[in-house]
Amino acid sequence: MPEPISVVKRSPIVLIRTLVLIELIFLAVFLLGTFPDRYKLEVFNKLPLSKFFSYSTFKIFFLFSVQFVITVYAFLRWYYESYAVFPSSISHRWGVFFRRNKSIPLDKSMAVTASQGPLGKLLHYGSIHIQNGPKNKSMNIADIPRHCEFERIIQQAADHRSFRRMPDVRKLLAAEEHEALEFKSSLRVDIKSGQKNKSLEKAAMKTIAAFLNTKGGHLVIGVDDRRKPVGLHYDYKTIQRPDADGFENHFTQLFNSMIGPDFRHLVKLWFHSIDDAEICIIQVSASPRPVYLTSDGNEEFFVRTGNITTSLKLSEIDVYKRSRWQ
């Protein structure tokens, strides 16, 4: 099965709502249990436990145990439930003891409706209903955080043919750097000295963050300033698994720590061999919300201006955000 584009869990408000309901039910049961019941007392006195516990102690212990088990089950049920979006389908997974999975296909003809109640507006969560007419299948994605952003991801995933399209490598290498294109010879190694350099990793993440905040783009790694392929073997020597999979794993760890896993689905890595050199094309889609780069405990905001990655001042960020994300 391919890696999901995005995975979302139901809002923690759902868990809190369930736990409150459990508490109210057991409060009512406890109050009812305080009334004297001669028959229950007679049954208890016949049990071996009556030699060690009083009826009142046993009743409290029993109710607490049942409440604890139900509470743990409610938590696990919330924890194991998720919705995963793939390039051409969406999957709903749930279940504690028996894992269940429901998937429906995604296509452009489907109807996607987002809704949000008063409490959802206050606490920033909502629901999405998907009706796939030609396939006659539907799914209700209930009470998830950032539901509008997840709706956009679903719409994008429905057009799976363009979402995962391999870029034209020859065309990229024939072009000069511009707002949506940049070349780097290495992700983390200074080729002249052969030593690792963390500033190179930050430079690559700055470019990707800028693409996310602007209109998207391509970062090509393994190509020198003259757009001649030099390969990824310099980087491969410095990672635990010296191949494309190891490179992508290291990239993902770096991306998640500096930009955040919430945006990873907007970035696709392609590997291509040209002139006996393997290069990496990082394909970046425009982000539906602002992206900040975190480094050494500081947050920075980058955009592309021409063929340059530019850091905006605090006073400039609000203006840019209002114009970019209306």
- Give residue-wise pLDDT tens across range 297-316: 899 999 999 889 999 998 89
Token representation of residue 109: 């003809």
Token representation of residue 147: 């539901």
At residue 211, the pLDDT reads 94
Judging by DSSP bridges, how do beta strands 181-184 and 217-221 pair with one another?
A: parallel
Question: What Cα–Cα distance (Å) separates residue 104 from each residue in 16, 87, 116?
Answer: 29, 12, 23
Q: Pick from 206, 205, 186: which is nearest to 196 by CA?
A: 186
> Using CB atoms within 10 A of its CB, is residue 24 exposed (0-12), middle (13-18) or buried (19+)?
exposed
Residues of the chain below pLDDT 70: 1-3, 32-47, 49-51, 55-56, 133-136, 159-165, 326
At residue 221, the pLDDT reads 94
At residue 81, the pLDDT reads 92
